[in-house]
Structure 1
Amino acid sequence: DNIGSLIELTHYKKSEYKKGVPDTTDALLVSCLPGSSVYVESFGFWKGNFSLEKYNENSSMWELVRTQDGNHSQNYNFTEKNEEEYIVRYRVTSTEFDTTIWSGENEKQTGYVTLQSFGNDYSGIIKITEYISGKKVKGKVLRTIGSTDATQIWAFSPWSRSKGYPTAAGFFEDRLVFAGSTRYPQTFWSSKVGDYYNFGTSTPVVDDDAVTATLNGGQMNGIKAMVAFGELILLTSGGEYKVSGGQGKALTPSNTLSQAQEYRGISDVLPVTVGSRIVFAQQQGNIIRDLAYSYEADKYTGDDLNLLCSHLFDGHKVVAMTYQQTPDSIIWFVRDDGLLLGLTYIKEQDIYAWHKHSIKNARFVNVCCIPGGECDELYAVIERNGQYENVMLEKRNDNDVPEEQIYVDDGITVRGSDIKEVTGLTWLEGETVAILADGNALPQQKVEGGKVTLSEKHGYSVVHVGLPIDAVIKTLPIEFQMQDGSSISRKKRIGNLSVLFKNTRGGLYGLSEEKLDEIKWRDTEAYGQPTKLFTGKKKIVLPAAGWDETQQLIIKQDAPLPMTVLAIVPEIVPGG
């Protein structure tokens, strides 16, 4: 099970000291630990030069660090720091180091050079590549080991095939952070500052070293997601925690502070951020919550967002979610039965509006949002007839040109002159489709032989064909307060209603889905011209209105045309 995992071996590496007369060979050679230094000093009488070189492991060549010239009795010393993350070999060489100027005198004054490195604990890393026996494996050296001697100071990496790998990742204070492996579900690991591939520490520890810490919760709840604000928010299966350096300080190995905020728990679905708020599915996947810092409570807290629409989650849970910031600030959720739920979420205006969406003969599998030129583009994976497809859900068409309205699913637009039929509809074979031709809604047809016939006599210029989409608004039961109490238990009648529309045409209305009347739109348009899109207030009479204790208004759009309802004002007649 250790194949592919890393093992760290720690040895004490002794100081090294070399003394001699340098020449073109590497007689004066020492190894220097990472972060440590080599000290070079010359003594006695000599003239010429000597050079300090270091060995480059990547190019397998010696590189010049510094050259020192000398003349007679002048002595020199300097220090060179090893900035690498591994042991580096240094040597002193010379092309001319003349000591004969002291010939025949006191030999103790003959010139020489010393090269010294300093000892300390050092850890090398090996990746295990092959299993041989219970006491022997083969490996590849990833970071030079200090010695091949046996050592009692060693450690396996926290991630491996048997221990599992992190379930969450992100960035915080210029550190790369991983969290929540199988063996260590409440632990997080952060890299050095600005060095995302380096999770090492120094001796002694410094502030920009890597940080490894474990949440100090009362239960073993694995970390599933992280979000970086002023603090690092870690979301676990049983609660929400904030991690920081405390009192506005940066996170360091010596001041890591984790504090529990709430004990709600998060599901396996990744959360989304909306401004300064986190929106996530609670552990069971059937409750949606938000989380943000509260000055009143002095902690991160939030609300239940589906409290008023819990029927959308009865017996179901969320399996995917994404956030579409523009144009309408909508959080999209995929339910486990393939239904797409939307939450229009504008916290500043206290707007939490839920809506559900479906595709004919298909189910949603996953969704994601990608920034586009005009707005965030919503993409989805759907399953239709056992096949998976990638689709993009287009934004609403905001213009008021009837011919350019596209409100069909899986559709196609054909442009030309004198178009009397649309062919090539092989993917819609056998389906009943909606048709909008030059801004006029034609009767729905069944696709046969990959085509539909528009007209045998009259041709069109712009034709949209696709699966029909039914959009329905159904109000809550209409109630109001009367002088002698609530109207909830009294009969009432709705004879008229005023509806404020924007760029709308088509649609039905009524009090029961079994009996809906068509909204009349045509006004002063010339014969043969499509009815214009309507913007404004329209008064509608309910011919089948009756007396009932529960009254709910229904507005339905069954045509391939736009409808935007801005307000509904019913005229209510109370009864006994």
Structure 2
Amino acid sequence: MAIQTPALNSFAAGELSPLLDGRTDLAKYYVGLKTLLNMIAYPTGGATRRGGFRFIAEVKNGYNTASAVRLVPFEFSTTQAYMLEVGDEYIRIMRDQGQILWTTDPNQSSHTFDTVQNWTDISIGAGQIGFNSASLALDVYAASNVASGWAEFQFANLASPEVVHRLTLENQNEATPIMAGVGDVRTINSASFDLSALAEQNGGTVTVDFDPNGATQIYVGLVNQNEGSATVDNVILRRKYYEISSPYISSQLFDIKYAQSADTMFKAHPSVHPQELTRTGHQAFSIADVPFISGVAAAGGDIFATDFPAVVSFFEGRSAWAATNNEPQAIWLSETTDIYDFSTGSNAASAIKATIRALKVNRIRWLIPLSDLLFGTTGGLWRIGATTTAEPVTPNNVSARQTESEEGSANIQAIGIKNGALFNQFHGQRLMRAQFTFTSAALSGAWEAEDLTILSDHIIGGDDNVATMIEMAWQQYPHRILWAVRSDGVLIGLTYNKAQDIVSWHRHLTGTEDNRASVESVAVIPGTQKDDVYVVVRRNVNGTIKRYIELLSDDRIRVITDGRLLDSYLDYVGDNDSSVIAVGGLDHLNGASVSISVDGATHPDRTVINNSVTLDNRASQVVVGIKYDSELETMRIEAGSELGSALGKVKRIGSAIILFYRSAGCQYGTEEDKLDTLAWRRTTDKMDAAPALVNEAIEVTMPGDWERAGRIIIKQSLPLPLTVLAIVPRVDTSED
């Protein structure tokens, strides 16, 4: 009987391919994992639970055949970044982790009173409405508490009945509350106030949000059921969320390529004239055809008037367009002094057209500006540069060459990253890095493509090897992670640092095992404390399919109350003087079973009823959302044998020392259905507060018996943090 205690102190290779299960001869085997689910591999070697996804908004059209949306980042500056919800012929804008709301909607209807105007008096008993000449407002008067002053107005021909609207008004009388309601059903009397939305407030602004559900005739009712007058002014009905029209339909969204310079973004699609999205303010975005000019007289000088490019970028001060339907192997570079001008000539600043020559069709898929203009085609990697490397590209020295790599590209926008590019291989199941390799002996170099999925070849294709990558985004800070969406709705991540040889894949599922959700889009913009990762998620909520925009929360947890470890969550953050017994605003999870954390501790699950949940006790910090499991499973532990390899030999892991960092318990074991729970709370901890996070090595006795696999599983199913830095198992191996 041989006993060993190997140290598993790095998981930097991430989740490895099942085909490597026996490759104990590889160095990466000993820093790899069989499973890394809903956890992130740190570049330093440990692994931590990902943060939960915070609910931001439901997409405009909910869920139907035309409701698919794509997220597109718009980075105006280092301090002003927007996330675009690009849907079926519309674009909505998000900033500072929330949707931008209309303040001045061109479609709005408003009332500032100089007369009663068209408001109808349907008061009950000794109630009435009238014009207040002193304050130029509408008085809604009741002679007693049994009377009702009632004013009604019909908004006819609502311009956008398919979107959520917001009603706001001012009540100038602090002493008398006003009830305001809006809906598509006409009110009858105060006893049957059957409007779809209702709010009551004394002095100040009253806000009511409602969904017309396609109705164009909308009624607004103002009711005072208290003795005295409520004095109302500035009644405004507007669309709630700021949006602009777009020429792209739902089926075209994921074929859009884009490139941005300051406040201008160019968009390219083979079926739509190139578009220019510009911004001059938070509610001042516009999109229109790019106003090209050139020496070509046809179509007013627009060289793309009828043949639209599919790819766009910028290079050396020029705009770059490529791959029209009629010329899929051509690239056009604008003048250096005017990115709209494609007038060709012999001057150094003149526009350039280059067509690659190959033995087979090489449709251009993407362009990335590096030292050369690197571009991927269906048949390989190419570059455009000057014939002399020290010079900029001009019409007289431009050179288009195929690189040494023959890896074709899928139709996904590549990502430029530190003198290279990450791109999806032609068949959609490999991630490649294009990089320039310099050979000092030969005093020359070449562009080459490296397969970053070679040790994790299952990560994109999935268990049945049919999934493909459909979109990806780069999160520079804090961990350097490439996020990608698979065609089967699984989100995958790659912690990547070439200088440290870190290539670590991880998978992320959201929703419960019997009600799995699907991620459909991902994008990243700079945030305040990290780069913000946004996703579009399709969820089944109480039998109804919904599409939500959600934001990945920070996994860097300092204290227990920092944790946001539930999906589609909303939170309440107060203090000891502002605790709550109920949490509302959970419309997006109405009817669903949810998990809850209160002041850093777990709470029994609840079902959301009437958009809220009630707690057992008051709490100052509450997080409500959908639970998810995080799991780390090691490879077969190759240790414990004195007669060669321990692979496949009967062994038992009797105990293990687990080094935790800022963690709050876990489940552990050697078999999925035989896990023990590590107690987080100790007898010395106070019962009225959550215990402190664990930062220590803890020895545990492993459940399970003798078997041949020899793996260790560490799992967290509660909304609590978990970070594992190292595992030291005691392995008993039988030599019989």
Q: TM-score, normalised by structure 1?
A: 0.69
Q: What is the CA–CA distance in structure 1 between the aligned matches of 2:337 and 2:634, rounded to whole Å?
A: 54
Q: What is residue 484 of structure 2 aligned with on the other side?
A: 333
User: What's the counterpart of residue 551 of structure 1?
Assistant: 710
- Among 297, 311, 323, which residue is 1:180 paired with? 323
2:400 counterpart letter in structure 1: S
Amino acid of the residue matched to residue 300 of structure 1? W
Which residue is 1:198 aligned to? 341
Q: Which residue does the alignment assign to 1:453?
A: 614
Deviations 1:251-288 (A, max 9, x none): 11122212211111111111112222211110111111
Aligned to 1:146: none
Query: Which residue in 2 is equivalent to 1:267?
Result: 410
Partner of 2:95: none
1:121-520 to structure 2, matched below 5 A, reads 125-128=296-299, 142=300, 159-161=304-306, 164-202=307-345, 205-248=346-389, 249-261=391-403, 262-296=405-439, 298-312=445-459, 313=461, 314-360=465-511, 361-385=516-540, 386-400=545-559, 402-415=560-573, 417=578, 419-455=580-616, 458-480=617-639, 482-520=641-679
Query: Aligned AA for 1:429?
Result: N
Partner Cα separation in structure 1 for residue 536 and residue 386 of structure 2: 41
SS in 1 for 2:314: strand
Q: After TM superposition, give the deviation of residue 425 of structure 1 in Å.
A: 2.7
Query: More deviation in 522-531 or 429-438?
Result: 522-531
* Aligned AA (1:342): G
C-alpha distance in 1 between matches for 2:671 and 2:445: 49
Moved more, 411-420 or 386-395: 411-420
Distance 2:295 2:562 in 1: 67
What are the Cα deviations for residues 210-259 of structure 1, in whole angstroms up to 9, with x where unaligned?
11111122221111111111111011111001111123132111222122
Give 3-state SS (helix, strand or coil) of 1:504's partner.
coil
**Mind listing any 5+ residue stretches in structure 1 that lack a counterpart?**
1-122, 129-141, 144-156
Q: Distance in 2 between matches of 1:348 and 1:565?
A: 24
Give the Cα–Cα distance (whole angstroms) in 2 for the partners of residues 230 and 444 of structure 1: 55
- Judge conservation of contact 2:296–2:343 (CA < 8 Å) in 1: no
Q: Distance in 1 between matches of 2:338 and 2:583?
A: 59
Q: Cα deviation per residue 1:436-469 (whole Å; 9 max; x = unaligned)?
A: 11222112223334333322xx432222111112
Give the aligned length. Answer: 420
Structure 1 contact 511–553 (Cα < 8 Å) conserved: yes
Question: Quick one: distance in 1 between partners of 2:428 and 2:402?
Answer: 21
The higher-RCO structure (CA 8 Å, 6+ apart) is 2
Mapped pair 1:536 → 2:683: no
Residue pair 2:579, 2:621 contacting (<8 A) in 1 also: no
CA contact under 8 A between 1:506 and 1:559: conserved in structure 2? no
- Distance in 1 (CA, whole Å) between partners of 2:579 and 2:320 is 62
Supply the AA of the counterpart residue of 1:365. Answer: E
> What is the CA–CA distance in structure 2 between the aligned matches of 1:245 and 1:214, rounded to whole Å?
15
Q: Name the CA shift for 1:418/1:193 in 2 (closer, same or farther; >3 Å).
A: closer
Contact 1:508–1:519 under 8 Å retained in 2: yes
Q: Give the direction of change, closer, same or farther, for the CA distance of 1:424–1:365 in structure 2 (3 Å limit).
A: same
Structure 1 CA distance for aligned equivalents of residues 648 and 704 of structure 2: 18
The answer as to whether partners of 1:397 and 1:406 remain within 8 angstroms in 2 is no
1:427 match: secondary structure: helix
CA distance in 2, matches of 1:190, 1:282: 26
1:403 alignment partner, SS class: helix
Q: Within 5 Å, which residues of 2 pair with 1:73-152? A: 125-128=296-299, 142=300
The letter for the 2-side match of 1:448 is: I
Q: Distance in 2 between matches of 1:422 and 1:196?
A: 52
Distance in 2 separating the partners of 1:174 and 1:413: 46
2:671 touches 2:704 (CA, 8 Å); kept in 1? no
User: 2:278 — aligned with what?
Assistant: none
Secondary structure of the residue aligned to 2:413 is: coil
Q: Could you say which structure has the larger radius of gyration?
A: 1
For the residue of structure 1 that corresponds to 2:457, the secondary structure is helix
Tell me the secondary structure at the aligned position of residue 368 of structure 1: strand
Identity rate, percent: 30
Give the direction of change, closer, same or farther, for the CA distance of 1:403–1:489 in structure 2 (3 Å limit).
closer
Structure 1 equivalent of residue 727 of structure 2: 568
Deviation at 1:398, TM superposition (A): 2.5
Shift of 1:516: 1.1
- Structure 1 residue 536, shift from structure 2 partner: 2.1
Q: Distance in 2 between matches of 1:548 and 1:495?
A: 12
Q: Which residues in structure 2 correspond to 1:40-59 (within 5 Å)?
A: none
Question: Following the alignment from structure 2 to structure 1, what is the Cα–Cα distance between the partners of residues 349 and 517?
Answer: 52
State the distance in 1 between where 2:701 and 2:604 align: 26
Specify the SS of the correspondent of 2:561: helix
TM-score, L = length of structure 2: 0.55
1:17-66 per-residue CA deviation (whole Å, 9 max, x = no partner) reads xxxxxxxxxxxxxxxxxxxxxxxxxxxxxxxxxxxxxxxxxxxxxxxxxx
Q: SS state of the match for residue 327, structure 2?
A: coil
- Give the secondary-structure state (helix, strand or coil) at the position aligned to 2:499: helix
Q: How many angstroms does 1:566 deviate by?
A: 1.4
CA–CA distance in structure 1, aligned partners of residues 664 and 700 of structure 2: 14
Report the equivalent of 2:61: none
How far has the Cα of 1:424 moved from its partner? 4.1
For the aligned residue pairs, the C-alpha RMSD in angstroms reads: 2.0
Q: CA deviation at 1:206?
A: 2.1
CA–CA distance in structure 1, aligned partners of residues 688 and 677 of structure 2: 20
Between the aligned partners of 1:516 and 1:481, the Cα distance in structure 2 is 23
Runs of 4+ in 1 over 6 A off after TM superposition: none
Q: Provide structure 2 residue ranges, at least 5 long, that are not aligned to the other structure.
A: 1-293
